[in-house]
Amino acid sequence: MSAETTSAGRLEALLRIMARLRAPEGGCPWDLEQTFATIAPYTIEEAYEVADAIQRGDLGSLKDELGDLLFQVVFHAQMASEAGAFSFADVVDAISEKMIRRHPHVFGDADVKTAEAQTVAWEEHKRRERSARGEIKQRLLDDVPLAFPALTRALKLQKRAATVGFDWRERARVMEKLEEEIGELNDAVASGAPKEKLTDELGDILFVAVNLARHLGVDPEEALRATNDKFTRRFAHVEDTVAKSGRKLADVTLDEMDRAWDEAKTLERRR
């Protein structure tokens, strides 16, 4: 078996491709112009495309999207290597060491019996690591990335706070809080409150909705993506129905669109 046919050999080949693309002489002009900041949006985009392929159950696309995401890691590592900061090998070493360190119940003699207990232990490992790096003065929520999508960041903030007991013990209490926040938004709307106040009240509703998702064991990003897909699917039925009548959406009434929407819902229930 040649080196090029092994996983390690194939990865080495990819690293050589990346180095060639960034070569000052004969490299790709576009790749040479990139920086960590300009590539970061592509990294985020590729991660979302991985999630999309998973949600669609498309393993063929997942293979391609994982490759695109891996290329993003290789791209960042190449730029870091050029800057003398770290190499791809350093990235691999760091994550390997971290996984072993944070799984003492697998690679050591610690006893962790449930996924929930592992989540708590994971956060404690991270806290100790921050302390070892001299970051003990850092507040509990300070290192939750600002770049996360808002729903994901809300979930991370809530999970982190829950590790020290700052959490509702009962799901019913979260439901009550959600109803309370909706009431406050209704009051703000009725009183003609300014946009800033409405924004604040709506943000509270979304934050509590994320908390409810957490207590239900539901990923809020996944839930909203599924609802977006459902809306897109049903609206497509509305468009198709209108097109079959020989008209355009602008030519039909809201009541007609609502009837087509309800028909789409009925058809989904029958499947």
Q: For residue 58, which phi and psi values (nearest 5 degrees)?
A: -100, 90
Please report which residue ranges of 22-35 form alpha helices under DSSP H: 29-33
pLDDT value, residue 263: 95
Task: Count how many residues are written for the chain.
Answer: 271
In this structure, is residue 96 part of a structural domain?
no
pLDDT value, residue 135: 57
Q: For residue 217, which phi and psi values (nearest 5 degrees)?
A: 75, 25
Tokens representing 219 are: 């990923």
Domain boundary among 42, 61, 87: 87
In this structure, is residue 65 part of a structural domain?
yes
Domain boundary among 24, 57, 87: 87
pLDDT digits (tens, 9 = 90+) for 117-144: 777 777 777 777 766 766 555 688 988 8
In this structure, is residue 260 part of a structural domain?
yes
Buried b (16+ CB within 10 A) or exposed e, 210-231: bbbbbbeeebbbeeebeeeeee
25: domain CATH number is: 1.10.287.1080
In this structure, is residue 192 part of a structural domain?
no
In this structure, is residue 58 part of a structural domain?
yes
In this structure, is residue 54 part of a structural domain?
yes
Question: Alpha-carbon distance 46 to 61, whole Å?
Answer: 12
Tell me: pLDDT of 1 over 50: no
Question: Which range of residues forms the domain containing residue 241?
Answer: 222-270
In this structure, is residue 105 part of a structural domain?
no
- Give 170-176 contacts, CB < 8 A, sequence gap 24+: 171/212, 171/215, 171/216, 174/208, 174/211, 174/212, 174/215, 175/212
In this structure, is residue 257 part of a structural domain?
yes
In the chain, how many domains are there? Answer: 2
